Structure 1
Amino acid sequence: MRIAIFGAGSTGCYLAGQLCLSGFDVSLVCRPTIKQTILANNGITLSDYQGFLQTVMPNTMITDIEQAPTAYDAFDVVFVTLKCHQVSSITNTLIAITHSNSSIIFMQNGLGSFDAVRDALSHCRLLQGITPFNVLQQTDGRFHKGTEGVFTLQKNEHTQMIQLAMQSQNFGCDLYQDMTTVIYGKLLLNLNNALNAITDLPIKQQLSLRASRRQLAGAMSEWLKVCKAANITLHQYTKVKPQWLPVILSMPNMVFTLLAQQMLDIDPQARSSMWEDIQAKRKTEIEYINGAVVRLGKQYGVKTPINEAIVAQIHQLEQSV
């Protein structure tokens, strides 16, 4: 099974590293700077907040696939790890590097980008996946996982093979047939991405501030109301049910610290991918995360002023860098 990671940044390189260590033939479709970093450091180094550390070299790194996609044999599985707003621009390339039995797995945060490309890629099997943990690129080609969780994928024969291989290496991989509740549940947690970028603090430090937590609680409450109006149940990622998260986040610091030990069991330096995008002067995925709350709120008649304000703040940060 030949696997490609299309748009291998922080999350894509972490996924590639785990797949390589699980025995798969993995190719990276990446920026020249990523390729140079990996070559200069003799591979992708994976680390996590629990002390894992290992280095592996991917089979192939491709930087010119847009110019000559036919130079490469078709891949059996393609993980698309680009940002949401980049997905629609690569449909022709994805057609060129896949066959009728290929699986293309879209690993984007938020809502909207998958629906935009579904019809154009009907020649093969389209799946969705999520990364329910934080990954940041560090120095010396190291990609660090700062929070708990395992890659979560939609179930088919390809992903079942991937799950077995990854579990054999103690990486873990969750599979679900229906990804709607999973993705909508992940969006609830992703609402903190923007607030982490706005506060410009490590996530653990940000969550120690009650004012920031209460803003997050308000954004989450709006999303929960939207999902109730849409009659969608959210997948539970934490020890408490989704509807209890705003309540716990709003509690005084001492009570929150006692009740939210799992939420705080993260790397002290972990930050969100949106913070990373702002620092790198890249366009963010805000319209597909908090912006999705606003859009669906209008569709179902639910007011979302907190998420609207967060979207506006992120756009200001994008313009100021």
Structure 2
Amino acid sequence: MNIAIFGAGSTGCYLAGELLMAKLNVSLICRERIKRSIIENQGITLTSYQGLHQKVMPKALITELATNQNIDSNSNLQNKVNPAPLFDVIFVTVKCHQLAAITEQLLQITHSQSSIIFMQNGLGSLDEILPLLTHRHVSQGITPFNVLQQPNATFHKGTEGQFTFASTQHTKAIQQAMRKAQQSECILVDDMAPVIHGKLLLNLNNALNAITDVPIKEQLSQRRTRKLLSLAMKEWLSVCKQAKLPLTQFTKVKPTWLPLILSMPDWLFNLIAKQMLDIDPKARSSMWEDIQAKRQTEIDYLNGAVVNLGRQVNVSTPVNAAITAGIKQLEQGQTVDIDTLF
């Protein structure tokens, strides 16, 4: 398989690293900044809160997609002109709002038997582009853990979890390669819808983490901010119940129990949910990274999606509406006081 990671940032580079550890043929389609960092540091370094430390080099680093493009090869880092490559599998790791702009490029670098696997969180990101990809095998995947980009082309996994993909011929081959290498693992499922819904329950914290501007572990150690997260989760669970949407369980307890556990006093939460705090002390959400970098966030597909779907099924979602409004303020460079937001 000729595999590409399209839009290789934090998650994309970590995914590339795990695939490369499995001896798979992986190229990165990335920004010039990422390419330069990888070349200068002679590869991608993967680290994790569990002690992983591994360096790998992609087959190619691609910064421009055109008829002819510059490719930096692992074996020869001199620029050279090549025809546009065709990939058998493309993992798309760009932000939700960027998908429409790359659809034509995805068609140009794939063939009729190619798999395009979209790794976006939240709801609704594929609605606009799916009709344009009818001659490709399209599926979804998720990253159920936190990845923080660090200096020197280092990407750090700060929380537990494994990449999860829809079960296809290509992803089965990828899973087999990962198991053979015994350095990483992925999960395959037949129906991604419950997985997407269950992941959204956890992703509701992305925005709160950006608003509180503290590491996730510190945020979860404070009942005040846990309570806000529990209320946001309750709203999504109510929407799912009303809309009859199933949710995959990602934690040790059922999704419906999470709000109750998060609302507990600190001493009881620390006792019962100790594993929930077994994360890197420096881990932060990707939305926090976006706000710091002054990038547009995916709030409309996360908390904003809860609000929109709640409106459709007549379920009130004031907490998620307030969180969405807070992120919109941060995107515009304004300050947000969490005490006056709710």
Return closer, same or farther for 1:291/1:166 CA change in 2, 3 Å cut-off. Answer: same
Please report how far the alpha carbon of residue 233 of structure 1 lies from its aligned counterpart in structure 2 after TM superposition. 1.6
Identity across aligned pairs (percent)?
Answer: 62
Aligned 1:113-262 pairs, distance under 5 A = 113-168=125-180, 169-262=182-275
Contact kept in structure 2, 1:226 and 1:296, CA below 8 Å: yes
Corresponding residue number in structure 1 for 2:53: 53
Corresponding residue number in structure 2 for 1:90: 102
Corresponding residue number in structure 1 for 2:19: 19
- Residues 143-200 of structure 1 show CA distances to partners (whole Å, capped at 9, x for unaligned) of 0000000000001100000111112223110001100000000000000000000000
Give the CA RMSD over aligned residues: 1.1
Corresponding residue number in structure 1 for 2:72: none
Structure 1 stretch 161-170 or stretch 134-143: which is displaced more? 161-170
Instruction: In structure 2, give the amino acid aligned to 1:62.
Output: I
CA distance in 2, matches of 1:162, 1:117: 25
Please report how far the alpha carbon of residue 21 of structure 1 lies from its aligned counterpart in structure 2 after TM superposition. 1.2
Total equivalences in the alignment: 321
Q: Which runs of 5+ in 2 are unaligned?
A: 70-81, 335-342
Corresponding residue number in structure 1 for 2:338: none
Relative to the length of structure 1, the TM-score reads: 0.98
Contact kept in structure 2, 1:5 and 1:28, CA below 8 Å: yes
Q: Which runs of 5+ in 1 are unaligned?
A: none
CA distance in 2, matches of 1:66, 1:289: 33
CA distance in 2, matches of 1:280, 1:299: 33
2:326 to 308, 313, 316: 313
Relative to the length of structure 2, the TM-score reads: 0.92
Please report how far the alpha carbon of residue 97 of structure 1 lies from its aligned counterpart in structure 2 after TM superposition. 0.4
Please report how far the alpha carbon of residue 263 of structure 1 lies from its aligned counterpart in structure 2 after TM superposition. 1.0
Contact kept in structure 2, 1:88 and 1:113, CA below 8 Å: no
CA distance in 2, matches of 1:72, 1:16: 20
Structure 1 stretch 43-52 or stretch 164-173: which is displaced more? 164-173
CA distance in 2, matches of 1:125, 1:261: 41
Equivalent position SS for 2:165: strand
1:295 to 289, 296, 308: 308
- Residues 120-155 of structure 1 show CA distances to partners (whole Å, capped at 9, x for unaligned) of 011110010000000011011100000000000001
Structure 1 stretch 67-76 or stretch 9-18: which is displaced more? 67-76
- Residues 97-127 of structure 1 show CA distances to partners (whole Å, capped at 9, x for unaligned) of 0001000000001111122211101111001
* 1:111 is the counterpart of 2:149: no
Contact kept in structure 1, 2:66 and 2:84, CA below 8 Å: no
1:283 to 288, 296, 309: 296
